[in-house]
A and B are shown apart, each in its own frame.
Chain A
């Protein structure tokens, strides 16, 4: 029997890398020539944030199959943590000024923000993941709200402190050091890591647990470990997205992280296809751009948005891409009539 080499079969990352670089070059040209205004680059930034949020939520919801309604809670942790870190750095003159590009400060802050979100993801995951389905959805909703309310009452996060009641203020004065080039590459790296994750033993294990957790245990998977790992992993990237958001928007109000925001990301995951990272990328792009594109029809905006959702759910109940992944290599080989290859690209979205 001839056994194919799976590495050679699963090519070609180079094509995707070229695709990503070309997209980046186009972006740079558009920004330089002024086609992409500050307004549009802001939308692109929102799209990148949505992509990271939707793909990371897809790990928990699509691959592990557990609806989580508190994803914005982790985003909030990442946002506030990284904002406080860059503020503290600015105050104590660490990595500020000439010779120390904003990029380092930004990167350190969002990674710490992501790490803290991951720790909370784990702490929430350990008790919550004993439950499944509707019950888990409700408990994650609860945890998301707890995080929100706690932050609202923290003095150093702009709140008045518990003794003064809950009327929190915004955390202001965050340096707006997210820039679209950096954010683009962070998105690419995040999606790449998540893609590798789901294509490894870990993604396989999550899908098995989604299909049948009893037989997953009986075939040797440590179900609890994998569930908590998926939740932690997912929360980490939500924290990263939060960090980007904080340094893009410049001031944080806890109202940016409500339950309804979490639901929006769940919608993106369902819209793109549960279990398809590229689906989440496409859905994150479309659903963040659509409200802006429809701004001219102000009063019909939400109507069109809702109809788009209904149409997709009726005609494509599994979402735009189902569980399949979009593959640049496949598209190219179809164009040039070559053999079929299997791999998708990462972060290929403009």
Chain B
């Protein structure tokens, strides 16, 4: 395990017009760590994710992935550097098959070029076979391999969530950003999700940054937690420290002054 954090931000911030959606955001995540990012609605959590995946370009501060500064790159270049995400409201390729959803995420590793694609060369068949096997393996981890040929939108909600995670894993990332993976899930599905997250960590040894409202999930799996409110970091530390922090309680429940 190296000493360089997989993901590091320095004074990260973004302005939308006059509004400071995220201000002075600092985080360091080492390989294999599972860090939680929590905060009330509208606190700027998803904006942080959008900054970390290149959807927005930061107006202040820097982002480093494995020590490399990645400010201003496009989303697909963030993926190439090793960052992958899921979305708060599931964004699958709905009309495509389950396995094609995963294959799309393998695109950067595919070696054949336009010529091979146009003539279906030997390399084309080899690469397609490799990607097919890789996608099936990933689907199997989530017990989705039997549904590989289903249209993605026909899957039940919980499985769509899983498929989105499988798709993110197919990009061969070093750090996975999960945006409210348990949103809209029933307790059984949430428990399954917890198993999936633990399984991913054990099997892939990657870092995970998790946004979640389900406190039982957060307190259970996260090693460290960062709390933000109105775009500012108000607390960070171990789950037990954070849950007793008066600022955090005030942010969630309000103060009586």
Contacts and interface: CB of A to CB of B under 8 A. Distances in A.
Contacts, number: 109
A220 interface: yes
Q: What is the interface residue range for chain B against chain A?
A: 35 or more
B117 A205 contact: no
Interface stretch (B31-39, B59-67, B84-92): B84-92
A204 to B, nearest CB: 6
Nearest to B171: A220
Interface stretch (A100-108, A160-168, A206-214): A206-214
A204 B117 CA distance: 11
Contacts of B133: 3
A212 B100 CA distance: 14
Contacts of A219: 79, 84, 104-105, 107, 167-168, 170-171
B118 interface: yes
A196 B128 CA distance: 13
A216 interface: yes
A201 interface: yes
Contact of B96 (A6, A7, A208): A208
A7 B114 contact: no
Interface stretch (B119-127, B190-198, B205-213): B119-127
Q: Is the interface of A mostly helix, strand, loop or mixed?
A: helix
In this complex, the interface size class of chain A, counting residues with CB under 8 Å from chain B, is 20 to 34
B110, B117, B171 — which one has the most chain A CB atoms within 10 A of its CB? B117
A208 B101 CA distance: 8
Interface string B132-150: 1100100010000100000
A92 interface: no
Nearest to A207: B96
Contacts of A223: 75-76
Interface in A189-236: 193, 196-197, 199-202, 204-205, 207-208, 211-212, 214-224, 229
Interface of A: 1, 3, 5-7, 193, 196-197, 199-202, 204-205, 207-208, 211-212, 214-224, 229, 323
